Amino acid sequence: MSAAPVRARDTAVARFRSSFAAKLLLALAGSIAVLLLATVAAIRVQTGRQVAVASERALAQSRKVFAQQESDLRNELQDDAVRLAGSNRLPAAVDEAISSGSTDFLVQTTTYEMSLARIPQALTAYTDPDGRPLVALDGGHALPDPATAVPAPLIAWLMRNDTAFGAFGYHQAGARLYAVYATRLVIFGHAVGMLVVGTPVSDAIATSVGSGVGAEVCFVAGGRCVARTPGVGRGGLQARMVAAAGASGRGERVKWNGHRYQLGADRIATGAGMRDAWRVTAIPLDGVVAPFESIQRVALLVGFGCLGLAVLLGIVLSRGFARPVRALVAATERVAEGDYDVRVEVERRDELGTLAHAFNEMTHGLMLKERYRGVLDKVVSREVADELLKGEITLGGETRRVATLFADVRGFTALTEGMEPQRVIALVNEVMERAAAAVEGEGGVVDKYVGDEVMAVFGAPASHGGDELRAVRAALRIRASIEELNRERTLRGEPVLGMGIGINAGLAVAGNMGSHGRLNYTVLGESVNVASRLCDVARGGEILVVEPFLRSLGDALDAVALGPRIFKGISRPLEVYAVRGVREPAAGAEERARTPAAPIRAASGAVVAGVIAALALGASPARAQNLPTFKDLGVSWTSKNGFWQVTPSGRIDLDGYFPGGAPAWLVPSTRPFVAGRASLFVDLFAVNRVYGLVEARADRGEAPADRPVQARIEQAYLRLTPVPTANFSIEAGKFVTPFGGWPQRHNSVADPFIRPPLPYDYRTMISPFIVPGSAAAFASWKENPGFWRPIGAPIVWEAPYQFGAMAMGGWKTLGFRVGWVNSAPSSEPSEWNPDFNQKHAYSFVAHAGWQVTPELKLGVSYDRGPYLQDSLKGAPLPADENHVSDFDQRLWGFEASFARGPVQARGELLLDQWDVPNIEDPYPSDVSFYAETRVKLTAGLFAAARYSGIRFSRVEVAEGQFERWDYPIDRVQLGAGYQLSRTTEVRAEYMINSTSAPPPENDNLLSLRWSWQF
Amino acid sequence: MLRNRAAALLAAGLLAPALAAARPRAPVPAAGSIEGHVTFSRSNAARVANRYPGEGSGVSHRAGAVPAVAFIVGAVEGARPERAQHPTLVQQDTAFHPPVLVIPVGTSVEFPNRDPFFHNVFSYSAPKRFDLGRFPRGESRTVTFDKPGVVKVYCEIHQWMRSAIVVVENPYHAQIGEDGRFTIEGIPPGRYRLAVWDFDRGQKLVDVTVPPSGPARVDVAL
């Protein structure tokens, strides 16, 4: 809630980081991880190498196959060229075409000649002797632009090289790549033109190249794939292969269709000035890579297995190491706190076992020493014991200036007369405890107890300086402490104690006196005797000093002169003063510094508010808040014959409470805290005769508080309806009281608030444990400041879930419930459970309701039962009524509710009367009430306001004198809620309490709630 | 052979009265001549040695030399009519004889094979495209040339065989000697277009004005 847990988590993280466990884990996991990485890296490198070797081999092979293919192609084309150019006909036709300027006849002749030569699908082209394109045919059809079909670089090369018969190369025309052969056409030694024959580089060529090495082949020219093996397809691989053209040699590795390939490119176009054409080969790598991958998979699997094992091993080892270390640390802390009776159980033979054994021996030694020391402390004062333990035990002593204080209880003998011995001892011990605490608090030493008297020394065996003033302060503290004790005793109806105190200072002999077998450190001297005498004469509550002592402190003491006195054994009379107080400057500054740390409270409040606001707003889109219910999930059970049906449901509330600084009645905390409850309801139906309900609840107390979560069965009852058609049932078990108009609505959507109205929340001063001695004493309790006010019973407990039986029924618009339950409506949750030894406590409760109109409903309730508990304290019960069961609480309730449209209004009036021991008629009674309204503003949003109050009656404090037994108190609650979804809701409430009773503390309360019903 | 001679005799008999009839109108009022000189460029001549390996005979064949020809293009008014005797282009010793043949339009030429093996005479030239197919020794084919122009004649089987038939519309033509000189006489005065043609270098046209008497001199670079 506050910043502290966050810091705690941070330090926990930091502690883990620096812990042995973390280092061990890091070392084990780290080395395995490095090994794993190295293995994977090695496999990868080896894979890469193998891929390189295999792909180079396949590329070389494909080059060889292609070279053969290319050579065949070249020979074929050359044969065709020789055949065509070898006859006079084509040269004659070209000659004629050039001289006549018309190519028609050439085309005709060519077609004829080609068909004769059986070269049907070839590319044919002619140029004149200077290389200018004449005509081109593809598959027997003239191309519109012969220039595109003429491989200009080949022609140029041929024109430069007179003696060459022809030239082979590649030429791209349109979407096709041709292998072409150019040759000269000659008649009578005279070149009449050039002939080009070509055949397309077809898919068949790619396939025959690829099949030799099992690779995919793609011929790329002009940035497009012009021929390919069927496996290349039109998708990704083709694009990657086209992209690979442009750089000779091994290219990238690609993945396509689940297969891996190594790409390689070779430039096939030869001859200067030729456009680039490439043969791209994709060598399948699956067969090469697969074995390595399976090795890598196994390595990874084994590696991660080892990693997990290492982490596990690290945890086990470090646990085995950390547990004894933690045990040793815990034991050391206990030793540091002073508990030497601690042993470390480490059943080990290793170094830790040795350490634990040594530790145990050490604590055993310490324990023995401390035990001796403890005995010594009880016999002599701690400081004397220190001196003794230092070994400076000397008989005789030294003369020191000391202040001595004597205090004893006035009239102790009379007080304890007729008292049981145990109670006497208890009383003496309580007084001595308080006196000793005061003395030690001021640095003094309790020298000895003599009966009801305490002797204390300041300045011996060691002086803390200002011993006189310390003695006076100790006396004042004793007096204050006894006054405090007296207040408690008054409440309990016991007589008050008076303590007389005498203080003096002067030279005294201090030392160990007695025999060697039994020494007693003490001080002796006249000044000591004077202090003792002063104590003897001091009245209850008086602190007496003599004039020299007073003077020795200057004007530090506020004292009243009582006149001279003669003391036994003292020669001269001494002026005696009664000390009223110490004049100390600048008192109270310290007090202010101790006020609660308001900023911390504000900060923690803000955190809780943030959490609830986040739940309310952060997660809303409404759908996110639309958490499912058991019904949505279909969780329910029906017996086979349909006789029984069991249906679960639940509700979770998450509350944040922000007290204004003082407890707001049933909320005891003064700091913000988170509470709430989780309830699981199980409904049981048997035909229509039996109904049962069990509610299991976990919360931080019936009334929310900053304490551990507890779980219990809140309700468990069975209801039997003997005649299903008649409106009558009987019910038994633990159920919420039928009394009043609020408990049944408690923790349900019908209640628009988080906290109850005052009558169900305010703790009256009528206590089930403390009995007042008289009406006057009772009436005076209300004046006690906050802390001293008895925390009594509420008028009705927030929502009593009592144990009992009830009958209920109805007729037309009337309904009733009548029952007996095991405790009064005001009784605490501890009284609700069945306790069959508690015979007295049965309480009668009844409720009647009338539905006047569909909108208006009226009800009246009555409850009567004993509220006192057996473990009473304080004044005794009157002799004639000596059973706690004779004292009843009587309670009437009148309620009305009204609903029309978006407005709902409710009101309730409670008349309450108590039988209180030692108080005669008129008995203490009170009137309490509340009125509330709730308005639905929009779908899901409502606002509500409630006013509640209590007025207390007068009791007779003296003959004819009446006084109210408590101040009136009022409460205003303002609330709002929002239905986030079908099942979740948030609401907020601010409560203002107002009373004229003495504690002017701020007991207002801000409450926030998120709830989910499922 | 006998039939050929008979045909030749028949043709001579038919033509004789025509020639006799033409002679009385022979006196021509005036006649000029053209004296020309052709300069042959080297560059357009065959660049490769014009020898072709014989088919299995081991004999090298020289490509047939075809003389250049000069002739006047178009019909000439008042020109004496030319009646050539029945012309033949003989294939003998894997060569055409004569190497060039000038004939008037409408003349039929016989292509007898006097070699002991097949020839296949053809021409792809525009004025007359023909392909006589393969025919053996002793057989002959006849082709009638009905358009003026130069027709290059080849044998498909023997690449070194070539000849040309120049189909003219007037009698004014001459073979150009090896020294490039030629003379055409008896031309009526007037303006003419003169074609100078060589098998390898092609044809060139020049305009010539022939005076009433005396030669017109022409220099042509081919």
Q: Is pLDDT of B58 > 60?
A: no
CA closest to A184 among chain B residues: B48
Q: What confidence score (pLDDT) does residue A64 get?
A: 87
CA closest to A100 among chain B residues: B126
Q: What confidence score (pLDDT) does residue B59 get?
A: 52
Per CB-CB distance under 8 Å, the chain B contacts of A191 are 47-48
* Residue from the list A93, A162, A188 with its beta carbon closest to the beta carbon of B162: A188
- Rg (Cα) of chain A, in Å, rounded? 54
* Residue from the list B122, B124, B200 with its beta carbon closest to the beta carbon of A190: B200
B156–A88 C-beta distance less than 8 A: yes
Per CB-CB distance under 8 Å, the chain B contacts of A88 are 154-156, 159
Proportion of chain A above pLDDT 70, given as a percent: 87
Place A789 in a pLDDT band, splitting at 50, 70 and 90.
Answer: low
Q: What confidence score (pLDDT) does residue A873 get?
A: 59
Residue by residue, DSSP assigns A291-353 as HHHHHHHHHHHHHHHHHHHHHHHHHHHHHHHHHHHHHHHHHHHHHHTT----------SSHHH
A96–B125 C-beta distance less than 8 A: yes
Taking the Cβ of residue A105 and every Cβ of chain B, the question of whether any pair is shorter than 8 Å is answered with yes
Q: What is the mean pLDDT of chain B?
A: 78
B125–A190 C-beta distance less than 8 A: no
Taking the Cβ of residue A787 and every Cβ of chain B, the question of whether any pair is shorter than 8 Å is answered with no
What global pTM score does this model have? 0.43
Joined together, the tokens standing for residue B184 give 């055409």
A84, A88, A109: best to mutate for the B interface, most B CBs within 10 A:
A88
Per CB-CB distance under 8 Å, the chain B contacts of A159 are none
Q: What confidence score (pLDDT) does residue B16 get?
A: 44
| Closest approach of B184 to chain A, Cα-based (Å) | 26
Taking the Cβ of residue A186 and every Cβ of chain B, the question of whether any pair is shorter than 8 Å is answered with yes
Lowest mean pLDDT across A11-25, B86-100, B134-148: A11-25
| Closest approach of B161 to chain A, Cα-based (Å) | 9
B154–A92 C-beta distance less than 8 A: yes
H/E/C letters for each residue in A928-987? Answer: EEEEEEEEEEECCEEEEEEEEEEEECEEEEECCEEEECCCCEEEEEEEEEEECCCCEEEE
Q: What confidence score (pLDDT) does residue A972 get?
A: 93
Q: What is the pLDDT of residues A657-699, one digit of tens each?
A: 988 877 777 777 778 888 888 999 998 888 778 889 999 999 8
Calpha distance A251→A281 (Å, rounded): 10
Yes or no: say if B69 and B197 are a contact pair by the CB < 8 Å rule: yes
Taking the Cβ of residue A109 and every Cβ of chain B, the question of whether any pair is shorter than 8 Å is answered with yes
Q: Which residue has the tokens 């628009």?
A: A752
Q: What is the pLDDT of residues A290-318, one digit of tens each?
A: 888 888 899 889 888 988 888 888 888 87
Average pLDDT of the residues in A513-517: 66
Average pLDDT of the residues in A325-330: 84
Position with higher pLDDT, B26 vs A144? A144
Per CB-CB distance under 8 Å, the chain B contacts of A95 are 124, 152
Q: What confidence score (pLDDT) does residue B21 get?
A: 42
| Closest approach of A149 to chain B, Cα-based (Å) | 25
Per CB-CB distance under 8 Å, the chain B contacts of A99 are 202
Yes or no: say if A219 and A278 are a contact pair by the CB < 8 Å rule: yes
Taking the Cβ of residue A191 and every Cβ of chain B, the question of whether any pair is shorter than 8 Å is answered with yes
* Residue from the list A88, A95, A96 with its beta carbon closest to the beta carbon of B159: A88
B124, B200, B203, B205: best to mutate for the A interface, most A CBs within 10 A:
B124
Yes or no: say if A512 and A519 are a contact pair by the CB < 8 Å rule: yes
A188–B50 C-beta distance less than 8 A: yes
Q: What is the pLDDT of residues B97-140, one digit of tens each?
A: 888 999 988 888 999 998 888 888 999 988 899 988 888 888 88
Q: Is pLDDT of A743 > 60?
A: yes
Q: What is the mean pLDDT of chain A?
A: 82
Place A602 in a pLDDT band, splitting at 50, 70 and 90.
Answer: low
Taking the Cβ of residue A96 and every Cβ of chain B, the question of whether any pair is shorter than 8 Å is answered with yes
H/E/C letters for each residue in A881-910? Answer: CCCHHHCEEEEEEEEEEEEECCEEEEEEEE
Proportion of chain A above pLDDT 90, given as a percent: 14
Calpha distance A1010→A1001 (Å, rounded): 29
Answer whether the bond into residue A876 is a cis peptide, omega within 30°.
Answer: no
A681 strand-pairing partners? A649, A695
Q: Is pLDDT of A373 > 70?
A: yes
Interface contacts A/B by beta carbons within 8 Å = 52
Q: What is the pLDDT of residues A606-658, one digit of tens each?
A: 665 666 666 656 545 544 557 778 877 778 888 888 788 888 889 899 899 98
Q: What is the pLDDT of residues A982-1008, one digit of tens each?
A: 888 889 999 988 887 655 567 788 999
Closest CA to A781 of A926, A955, A927, A929: A955
Joined together, the tokens standing for residue A273 give 């000035």
Q: Is pLDDT of A104 > 50?
A: yes
Average pLDDT of the residues in A872-885: 69
CA closest to A86 among chain B residues: B159
Answer left, alpha or beta for residue B178, where phi above 0 means left and psi between -120 and 50 means alpha.
Answer: alpha
B48–A189 C-beta distance less than 8 A: yes
B124–A93 C-beta distance less than 8 A: yes
B63–A188 C-beta distance less than 8 A: yes
Q: What confidence score (pLDDT) does residue A980 get?
A: 82
| Closest approach of B192 to chain A, Cα-based (Å) | 23
* Residue from the list A109, A187, A189 with its beta carbon closest to the beta carbon of B49: A189
* Residue from the list A95, A109, A190 with its beta carbon closest to the beta carbon of B46: A190
Per CB-CB distance under 8 Å, the chain A contacts of B48 are 186, 189-191
Closest CA to A168 of A138, A198, A135: A198
Place B8 in a pLDDT band, splitting at 50, 70 and 90.
Answer: very low
Answer left, alpha or beta for residue A666, where phi above 0 means left and psi between -120 and 50 means alpha.
Answer: alpha
Closest CA to A551 of A527, A577, A514, A531: A577
Complex-level ipTM beyond the 0.85 threshold: no
Place B14 in a pLDDT band, splitting at 50, 70 and 90.
Answer: very low
Closest CA to A458 of A499, A530, A508, A498: A508
Yes or no: say if B62 and B159 are a contact pair by the CB < 8 Å rule: no
CA closest to A109 among chain B residues: B124
* Residue from the list B125, B160, B202 with its beta carbon closest to the beta carbon of A188: B160
Q: Is pLDDT of A601 > 80?
A: no
Q: What confidence score (pLDDT) does residue A588 get?
A: 40
A188, A190, A192: best to mutate for the B interface, most B CBs within 10 A:
A188
Average pLDDT of the residues in A187-196: 82
CA closest to B159 among chain A residues: A88
Answer left, alpha or beta for residue A265, where phi above 0 means left and psi between -120 and 50 means alpha.
Answer: beta
Place A925 in a pLDDT band, splitting at 50, 70 and 90.
Answer: very high
| Closest approach of B39 to chain A, Cα-based (Å) | 19
Q: What confidence score (pLDDT) does residue A929 get?
A: 95
Q: What confidence score (pLDDT) does residue A845 get?
A: 93
Joined together, the tokens standing for residue A327 give 């045990």
Q: What angle do CA B62, B64, B69 make, to 5 degrees?
A: 145
Q: What confidence score (pLDDT) does residue A406 get?
A: 93
Q: What angle do CA A696, A699, A704 make, to 5 degrees?
A: 135
B202–A190 C-beta distance less than 8 A: no
Residues from B contacting A (CB-CB < 8 Å) are 45-50, 63, 122-126, 129, 152, 154-156, 159-160, 162, 199-200, 202
Taking the Cβ of residue A705 and every Cβ of chain B, the question of whether any pair is shorter than 8 Å is answered with no
* Residue from the list B47, B126, B159 with its beta carbon closest to the beta carbon of A96: B126
Closest CA to A340 of A375, A377, A365, A309: A365
Q: Is pLDDT of A427 > 50?
A: yes
Q: Is pLDDT of A87 > 90?
A: no
| Closest approach of A165 to chain B, Cα-based (Å) | 12
Closest CA to B150 of B73, B48, B46: B73
Q: What confidence score (pLDDT) does residue B109 get?
A: 92
* Residue from the list A92, A186, A190 with its beta carbon closest to the beta carbon of B124: A92
Q: What is the pLDDT of residues A389-420, one digit of tens each?
A: 666 555 557 788 889 999 988 877 777 777 88
Lowest mean pLDDT across A137-141, A387-391, B43-47, B147-151: B43-47
Q: Is pLDDT of B52 > 60?
A: no
